Amino acid sequence: MVVSIATWNINSVRLRMPIVRKFLKSSEPDILCLQETKCPDEVFPHEQFEKLGYPHIALHGQKGYHGVAVVSRRPFESLSRDRFCDKEDARHIAVKFNRGAGLSESFTLHNFYIPAGGDIPDPALNPKFAHKLNFLDELVECTANRDSANGKNAILVGDLNVAPLENDVWSHRQMLKVVSHTPVEVEKFTRAQEAGRWIDVMRGFIPEPEKLYTWWSYRAADWLESNRGRRLDHVWASSSLKGAAQEMKILSKARGWERPSDHVPVIVKFDL
């Protein structure tokens, strides 16, 4: 059974519901993982998603900041939420899909929103950057990593806020001192990825040295012309799902939609 999974940092789900609706109607993923929903669970737009054919909803939100959600056409068996860095800041949710969803293989889907880290790449001067580094350290031993490393079927998606490879940014040399591509972030990110034996699904379809972006800054006067992007959004699959990813699409045109997020959707089809 082929299942399409989309991930998108939406930068306020209620504000950008018109483009979410546009995306769901045009791309029709089976499952949509959202980050930075910026609303508590009780005011999440349940009815609008249900009308669009996504009645199965898992939430981990908070007022005004952060927040993650999974909306699905297919039922899931259970959900869980992990805490990181002793904070209640709604940065992870996981849902387990089994044969009740029409699948031959059960799997757990983890949706993450890793801290952005602020602007100063020095943990002594910038508490936000220190938080990000601590989060990446804790990612090594988190539930998702343990499950993946132990051979369980898992898929991890989200805004991980690190562009790890040289061609995940518009200029490796100029970005080395910019938060999201600093050597310390990349080292910790890579350590977490390797600890879980994760497969970088996106680079399986578009290998280096080709450029690969999912985010373009609001600060750019013309994001399309300057094309100074970064790959901050990721899709990982456990080693047990090697070969399951069949197709990948980055919907770059969504960056040009009315009142857009600065991130764009990534869609991957898995044979499960």
Question: Exposed e or buried b for every residue in 80-95, given b needs 16+ CB within 10 A?
Answer: eebebeeeebbbbbbb
DSSP 141-177: TSHHHHHHHTT--EEEEEE-----SGGGBS-HHHHTT
Q: Which CATH fold would you assign to the domain 2-271?
A: Deoxyribonuclease I; Chain A (3.60.10)
The pLDDT of residue 44 is 98
On the 0-12 / 13-18 / 19+ scale of CB atoms within 10 A, 215 is: buried
The residues, any chain, with a CB within 8 Å of residue 228's CB and separated by 6 or more, are 170, 171, 216, 217, 220
- pLDDT, one tens digit per residue, over 169-217 is 999 999 999 999 999 999 999 999 999 999 999 999 999 999 999 999 9
Q: What are the tokens at 129?
A: 């950057």
The pTM is what? Answer: 0.97
- pLDDT, one tens digit per residue, over 87-130 is 999 999 999 999 888 888 899 999 999 999 999 999 999 999 99
Q: Where are the domains of the chain?
A: 2-271
In the DSSP assignment, the letter for residue 268 is E
